[in-house]
Structure 1
Amino acid sequence: MPLPPGAIVPVELHQPEPGGATLVGVFQDASGGCLATLTDEHRLMVELAGLPEGTTRVVLAAEVASGSLSGMSGLRCAVGSGLVVLSGAAAGAATPEPVHLLGECYLREEAWWFREIGYGLAGEADLTRALGPEAAGYHLRRSATHSARAVPVPDAAVERERAAPPDPAGRPVRGLLPMASLESARMVGERRVRGPVSLEVAVDLSYSMEQYAGLRTAALRSLGEFACREMADGDLLSSVAFAGRAAVLVPPVEVRRLGQVTDHPQGSVGEGTLLEPAIRLLVKLRGRRPVKPWGCSLMVISDGEFFDDAYRLDPIMQRTGYQDVHLVVPESAERLTTRSHRWHRRATLWRFRDADQLGLIYGTVFATMTGQRLEGR
């Protein structure tokens, strides 16, 4: 069916339990190459007048990290303001696969059209062919995270395991206990991405986070040492600081070649706690990346007390193309003002107590991006 010129096509996902399924929008050029990938648990906005340059097709899909969409009873997807409502089988309720193609907006003779699709995808080859490697990688990383997600903070049960006597058979025990630090960790499993990955980090330097400056620096140093031992050439990290404004901390660099680590930005960040300037600066820094990454994720190190306008920040976050978002907060943080933001609902929340735990979170995030996992060595 035809779409009006400059139309804004909202895609809304209605599900009985939040966090089960995710909407995925893939913006492709005429050759099928991916220009951007958007994800959200509730709503995507396809603005035909503001698409990435060269877009000729926008593929819309729903996916779950594990199992199948058929396990999501009551799943319903509304595409466009009264355009079409996909429910039941059309929305993936009968799809035994984890990913379901909902439909696509496509350009034909300089006019935009919408077409309902309605079939499932399973396997990396099918996902890559239909959605492109970036979206396929997003799903694979979500699956890996879902199957083995654990914040590296020992609890009482773990402490009891640590105190248990050694295995009388003398068998090596790897990965059963939480690692003390990245120094005692290694990456295991097959690397499931075909190229380098990029982690973009936004570091909160507002007054309430000043006490963690030394801790953050130590964690980043441990990441550099870990990367030299465990990570591949080409994997990238970039970092900016933010408060009322944003400034560069670490320009895009291969993680294995991290040089002097600093918590002092290349400019003033003012006062306040605004994430938007940091996101805009991180996106701008992508032009300085030495290699083009296969996938990109965001880590925000903060106490979660942001003062951004959600109506401004959420659309910006949607357009960044992050496969995963990680909010990393001190263990003592209680007031997370981001709960009303859509990007927060799809973010993985981590808590840290010291530099070793923050370093382990860095390592775990990189392992998730490559489809691997951390294990004691």
Structure 2
Amino acid sequence: MTTLAPGPRFGRSPRLGGPSRRPFWALAALLLLVPLLWLLFTSCQRQEDPAPVAGALGDYALEGKRGPECLRLTLLVDSSGSMQDYAGARDAALARLVPWLANNLRDTDELSILDFAETATVRLPPTTAGSAGAPAATGVADGGGTLLEPALAQVDGFRTTQCETALLLLSDAQVTDLPTSEQDARTLLRQHRISDVKLLVPGQDIDVPDTWLTAFPDAQPRKFDGYDPDATAVAIGRTVAELTGQKLTR
């Protein structure tokens, strides 16, 4: 007959202590960490922001690799009546721009400048960026609308080039002979051997007409203070950086 041995005696249950303080301290540490993480995040965002702040164009330089193509930068200066208030600052900006381009573009890049309104005239024919000057504005007829075709006809008269030709309009885009569709605009650019179009508008309160955005939806307006020569020059510099695939940095 098997005899069952008595089992161990149960002791008294341990006394339950008060609530643990560890969750409280963990929560407090987390609350202190959140502001630090936010400050670190916003600091990184500011460092990565590619948009330059206000200043002189000479404070900036083009940085980064470029593709193999050279650039023929063609500035179309709107000399119509609605743009006359900005003419002084604009010409001063061009005087700052020309030597800056000489230091930031390649020897094979070119600059040309045209004035346009009802007619168009050449202020500077395609010239190597390193040897270009900043000639004074030329006279153009005004009063019959601001037209793009006369300017394109002048561009057609330039010597042929293997460079990518980019049009940069300094204008309020009140152009009366724009193509009526994006497809027509692309056809027009191919006919005139234009690779890209950019628009710089000298005022935040200037309304760009829908006809421009219909024809050139990829050429969204870059607005700046057109009364400030430095702001005008920096806006052009930013656009040049986009055309070359580089960054404009201090």
- Which letter maps to 1:280? A
**Considering only CA atoms, is the larger Rg found in Structure 1 or Structure 2?**
2
* Residue aligning to 1:188: 63
* Residue aligning to 1:325: 197
* Residue aligning to 1:178: 53
The superposition leaves residues 178-202 of structure 1 with CA deviations (integer Å, 9 ceiling, x where unpaired) of 2512110011112x22242111121
* Residue aligning to 1:359: 233
* Residue aligning to 1:225: 99
* Residue aligning to 2:216: 344
SS of the residue 1:252 aligns to: strand
* Residue aligning to 1:66: none
Distance 1:323 1:260, change over 3 A: closer
> TM-score, normalized by length of structure 1?
0.48
* Residue aligning to 1:276: 149
Q: 2-side partners of 1:365 and 1:224: how far apart?
A: 14
Give yes or no for contact 1:174–1:375 (8 Å, CA) kept in 2. no
The structure whose residues are more often strand, as a share, is 1
Give yes or no for contact 2:90–2:229 (8 Å, CA) kept in 1. yes
SS of the residue 1:359 aligns to: helix
Q: 2-side partners of 1:308 and 1:229: how far apart?
A: 36
* Residue aligning to 1:96: none
Give yes or no for contact 2:56–2:231 (8 Å, CA) kept in 1. yes
| Alignment equivalent of 1:198, drawn from 72, 76, 81 | 72
Q: Which stretch has the larger CA shift, 220-229 or 337-346?
A: 337-346
* Residue aligning to 1:238: 112
SS of the residue 1:277 aligns to: helix
Give yes or no for contact 1:201–1:239 (8 Å, CA) kept in 2. yes
Shift of 1:241: 1.1
Give yes or no for contact 2:201–2:223 (8 Å, CA) kept in 1. yes
- Which letter maps to 1:337? P
Q: 2-side partners of 1:174 and 1:230: how far apart?
A: 21
* Residue aligning to 1:254: 128
Distance 1:205 1:363, change over 3 A: same
Distance 1:180 1:203, change over 3 A: same
Give yes or no for contact 2:180–2:211 (8 Å, CA) kept in 1. no
Q: 1-side partners of 2:142 and 2:52: how far apart?
A: 42
Shift of 1:175: 6.2
| Alignment equivalent of 1:300, drawn from 169, 172, 179 | 169
* Residue aligning to 1:63: none
Identity within the alignment, %: 27
Distance 1:310 1:182, change over 3 A: same
Aligned residues: 198
Distance 1:307 1:175, change over 3 A: closer
| Alignment equivalent of 1:334, drawn from 206, 225, 228 | 206
* Residue aligning to 2:36: none
Distance 1:302 1:362, change over 3 A: same
SS of the residue 2:216 aligns to: helix
- Which letter maps to 1:282? V
- Which letter maps to 1:275? L
SS of the residue 1:223 aligns to: helix
Question: What RMSD in Å do the two structures reach over aligned CA positions?
Answer: 2.7
Distance 1:341 1:283, change over 3 A: farther
The superposition leaves residues 126-168 of structure 1 with CA deviations (integer Å, 9 ceiling, x where unpaired) of xxxxxxxxxxxxxxxxxxxxxxxxxxxxxxxxxxxxxxxxxxx
Q: 2-side partners of 1:360 and 1:340: how far apart?
A: 23
- Which letter maps to 1:349? P
* Residue aligning to 1:212: 86
Unaligned runs of 5+ in 1: 1-171
SS of the residue 1:251 aligns to: strand
Q: 1-side partners of 2:137 and 2:127: how far apart?
A: 16
- Which letter maps to 1:296? T
Q: Name the structure, 1 or 2, with higher relative contact order (CA <8 Å, separation 6+).
A: 2
